[in-house]
Structures are given as C-alpha cells and as structure tokens.
Amino acid sequence: MYIAGSMGVLLLILLIIPGEDSGSSLAAPYQTTRIPIPVKINHPKELEIPAANLSDYIVEEEAIPETNPWQNIEVQNGDNLSAIFTKVGLTDQDLFRLINSSEEAQILNRVYPGYQLNFLIPNEGELEQLRVLKSPLEGYLFTRTNDDYGVEEIINEAEIQRAFKVGTITDSLFMAGMREQIPEIHILEMANIFGGVIDFILDPRLGDQFSILYDEQYFDGQFVGHGEILATRFINQGRIFTAVRYTNDEGEVGYYSPDGESMRKAFLRNPLDVFRISSDFNPRRRHPILNTIRAHKGTDYAAPSGTPIRATSDGHIIRASRYGSFGNLVIIKHAGGFETKYAHLSRFSRGISRGDRVRQGEVIGYVGTTGGATGPHLHYEFLVNGVHQNPRTILDKLPSAAAIEADEMERFREQTSPLLRQFEQLSDPRLLSLSQRGAN
C-alpha cells in the first residue's frame, strides 16, 4: 500500500516539472531533456499458412504389381513337353488329358524348336488355356471346358511388303547375299532356281551380279517371316538369266524365263552352292588315305561342317544311315534309272528317312567328316543304270523340264507381266550396262 502511494506521488511530480519548451522564465531546480525514441509499430499481419498438399497427409498403400497369368515358353533344342509342363507347374496327367482331348491336340506330339507355348494358369495347377503357335500367323488355342478341352485354329493374316535387293559377287553367291542382308533361305532358293543353268561352284566370276524381288510378312507391325521369291536375275560373265514365279491352274509353282522356258532342269549342277571342288571325278585318282590308285567315282565339295546339302532332283530315299567309310550316307533313287549318293554327312535333316519322297533343292543333310573323310566335305556320286558317271559332264545331255504350253501362254503372261514390270522398274541400271559390256 505504501509502495503504491509513493509511485503515485512520483508520477505527479514528473507531470508538473516544466520542460525547455514550456516558455517559463523560472529556472527549474533540475534541467531535463526529452529524447525522442522512435517507436516502430508492427501491425498484426494475417497468419500465412502454406496451402495444404493432401498427398502429404494420405498414407499410400503399397502398390501391388499386376500379375500376368500367362506363362510363355519358347521351345528350345532338347526340350520335351513333359519337362515344359512341369516347369509351369502342371503334371503329366494334365499333359495326358490335353493330348487325348482331340485330334488337333496331336500337334503337341510334333512340337519343334521355335514354337511358342502360352499357358493360362489363373490358379496353381489349373490349366485354363494353352496357345500353341507354330508362328505368329498360325497355331491352335485349347480352352478347358469341365474336364475336357475345346480347340480352335488360329489363323492370322500377314501384311505383305515387297523387298528388292542387288548384290555383287566378290567371293561367293552365299557371302554376297549375306552382305546384302538377303535371307539365307532365299539365297539357297535363288541358287536352286538357277541351279540347272549355272554351276555356282565354277561359273561365277568376280563382278557377277544378281537381283532379287521377294515378299516379306509383317503382323502387328512386326516382321514375322519371309514370303516367296517373285522374280530374280543373275548376270554371269555377261550372260543374263531372268526367272519369274508362276503358278499353273493346278496350283503347281515353278520359275520360268520371261518367254516361258522352265528354269528347272532334270538335275541341279551341284548339291551345294558356294564352296569349292576339292576332288573331281577321276577313275585313276590316288586315294588320300590308302595311297593306292583307286577310282574316285564322285565329286568332293570342300565346305565347312554344317553347310546344307540339297537333293539334285526329285526322288525317293532308299538309304539314310551310317554306312562304312561313307559315314552318314543318303542315297536317292530318281526316275529314268538315275541314282545319287551323298556321303560323310554330319547329320541328316529332320524327317529324312528311308522311303521318303524328296523334291529337287530340298535340304537332306549337312556337310561333315563322318566315315573316312579327312576333312569336312561332301562326297557326291551320280549313277545311270548302276554305272557311275561324271555329274559335271552328264548333265548337259539330260533333258530340261517342260516349258509352258502354247495354250497356257496367255495365262502365264497375265500373271507374270506385272511382276516383270515391277522388277525392271526396280532393277539397278548398272546391272544392264554391265551385262551389255560383258556381252560385247
């Protein structure tokens, strides 16, 4: 209480003490100076609250990746169906039930490397569907219905695009074709088309040129396969050979010159396309192992192991097995008393066995060193009525296949003229000038 009173008195005294600017002439007992103190007044501001980001306050659940119930398997060399079914969690009983569900299901007994098997297994051990694709364009779809499987055929239509390539030989037809990224199957087929008129071992020369027009297949924008050769040309030392594809009214396909002459001869001039002759037909050749004079009754073609070997004419296989110093041997019997032999093969083509019919140009096996071979090569023999002949000289005496008949020429020209026009428009003018220079 006393303190409060003292403070009040002091305040009253301060209020009545005159200052310098009071205008009073009386001297104050104490001199005082008023010092102004600047005062900064902070006006209250609105509280700024950052905008709320709702995602900062939401607790996200852990993303669950989508599961694909399809399991896709590409058949590889050495695979078997039982092992594939086990790999995807199915049993041999599942396989047995599927294989015996329909006649179409027998395709599962003939599954080859490259086939695609797509399994739909929504629950463990339960096969709902199986897609068997021989290619992106064809296959079968098996769908489970109760304890059985229904089947429907898959047929997809490819988009066709045409490809045109030109090549120059600096070593071999095969290597020239590979440099131009021509499919291997088409290089071999081109050699097959011209195989009756050109010996691709001896005839080609450096600078010889070729051109080829063929189809390519696409599905969903992806390349899926090669189509047919439509037209092709080979210029050999100035000689021009042109072939165009033609299908007759019976559905038989062949290759003909623009005038309708068949390119197909009774026999191809050799069973390989791209390598060299290491030993020709010689009745008095010295045997390389026995060092004795022994007739060489065939022609040896030196080539790397695995090089494809082609049947030189249509016929039936009478042997496809191991046979003494010949190693793996294929013998083909042809009409007219002709017979050909192919020895030292590394292996036979799939499906080649005694009694099978083969077509000219079909691959029957691959070059190897089996039997008494001293290095990888093909030993090729040609017999007429059981007598060995030199295949390099006998072929010119054999007849060609029949040409287009006169009453079929109009149909032939209607079908082939558009192809030949397109082929000529695409052909490199340098090919023609080169051939004209060589012919002069």
Q: How far apart are CA 169 and CA 194, in angstroms?
A: 15
Tokens encoding 22: 């009071």
Classify domain 159-265+405-439 at the CATH topology level: Nuclear Transport Factor 2; Chain: A, (3.10.450)
Give yes or no on whether 70-155 and 159-265+405-439 have one common fold: yes
On whether the CB atoms of residues 404 and 412 are closer than 8 A, the answer is yes
Dihedrals φ, ψ of 236, to 5°?
A: -115, 105
Q: What is the pLDDT of residue 273?
A: 67
Q: How far apart are CA 227 and CA 215, in angstroms?
A: 4
State which H helix or E strand residue 82 sits in: helix 81-87
| Pick from 424, 293, 278: nearest CA to 344 | 278
Query: Any idea which architecture 276-397 has in CATH?
Result: Distorted Sandwich (2.70)
One pLDDT digit (tens) per residue for the chain, 440 residues: 445 555 544 444 444 444 444 444 334 443 444 444 444 444 454 445 455 554 554 555 555 555 567 899 999 888 888 999 999 999 988 888 888 888 888 888 888 888 999 999 988 888 999 999 988 889 999 998 877 888 899 998 889 999 999 999 887 788 888 899 998 889 888 988 888 788 776 666 788 999 999 999 998 888 888 889 999 999 988 889 999 999 998 888 999 999 999 888 888 888 886 554 544 444 444 444 444 444 557 888 888 899 889 999 999 999 999 999 999 999 999 988 999 999 999 999 988 999 999 998 899 999 999 998 888 999 999 999 989 888 777 777 776 667 899 999 999 999 999 999 999 999 866 554 544 444 44
Region label for 21, one of left (φ > 0), alpha (ψ between -120 and 50) or beta (otherwise): alpha
Classify domain 70-155 at the CATH topology level: Nuclear Transport Factor 2; Chain: A, (3.10.450)
For the chain, which residues make up each domain, given as ranges?
Answer: 70-155, 159-265+405-439, 276-397
3-state secondary structure (DSSP) of residue 130: strand
Q: In 101-193, where does DSSP find H-type helix?
A: 173-179, 184-193
The 3-class secondary structure across 294-326, one letter per residue, is CCECEEEEECCCCCEEECCCCEEEEEEEECHHH
Q: How far apart are CA 142 and CA 380, in angstroms?
A: 47
Q: How far apart are CA 315 and CA 356, in angstroms?
A: 9
